[in-house]
Amino acid sequence: MVLRLSFAAALVIATCAQAAESRTYAVLSLIGDKLLVAQQQPSTGTNIRRTLRQQMPLSDTLLDRTALAAAEAVLRQAEPEARTVLLLARDPAILAAQDRLLDDGGPLTQLLEPLSEALKGAQATHLVVIAKHRQEAMLRLADSTFGTGKLEGLGFYVDHSIITENPDTRERDIGAIAPFAYLRIGVVDLARGTVLSEERVIASTARSTAGTSSNNPWEVMNAREKMEALQALIRGEIARALPALLRASGPR
């Protein structure tokens, strides 16, 4: 009788401990408020190449929702017992905090103060952050890279003078467009206020004018194709990076 009671008590203790260890993840995406379009063009009469940068604000939340859905899918697969709370943030204070991160390269925990009210409502134990990363351009084209200047977040790099080749037809032309995703993906322990794991992502694809009907690389992709290319990069990089970050964030 005593043994059975002790065994039952042990089961209760183990069950309580397991429940206590179950995480609640708040998932935040801060990448979809605007796009960066960087266009590289040679200056007239010189060999100097200059990069023109334009920020394009986005009124909808499609790209942030794409990131949140991708992260939620990873969490459901990796930790089925965990609860997830998805956060969309267009609060100026939060976006300003991200801009400071881009400038000083500080830790993701700098976002916690402006996020305090949203996180309090989520009652989360951990935060998955999908934020913007800034770094020198390194766009992929076949087996090489190209680009100058710094890129950040989501957008398109347009080169009007690079010589490209269609891999199927071997036809050569001038110009390419590269959708890109420069991201910081991290897992934060909210109780301790520390970053448990993080990866800085540099991802891109490229489309050449070679073999197309346009000699303007911006027109090689229509509006729908441009957004679909960005969504594919977001999904692919989150699906690749986040499982390892969750494993690195410690026992659950």
Over residues 218-228, the mean pLDDT reads 95
Domain boundaries, the chain: 24-248
Average pLDDT over residues 195-206: 96
Sign of the Cα torsion 93, 97, 102, 103 reads: positive
Predicted confidence at residue 4, as pLDDT, reads 33
Q: 3-state DSSP: the chain helix, strand, coil percent, rounded to 5?
A: 35, 35, 25
pLDDT value for 12:
31
Q: What is the pTM of this model?
A: 0.86
What does the chain come to in residues?
Answer: 252
Longest dimension (CA), the chain: 95
Average pLDDT value for the chain: 86
* 119 pLDDT higher than 50: yes
pLDDT band at 36 (very low <50, low <70, confident <90, very high): very high
Comparing 56-65, 85-94, 118-127, 157-166, the range with the smallest average pLDDT is: 157-166
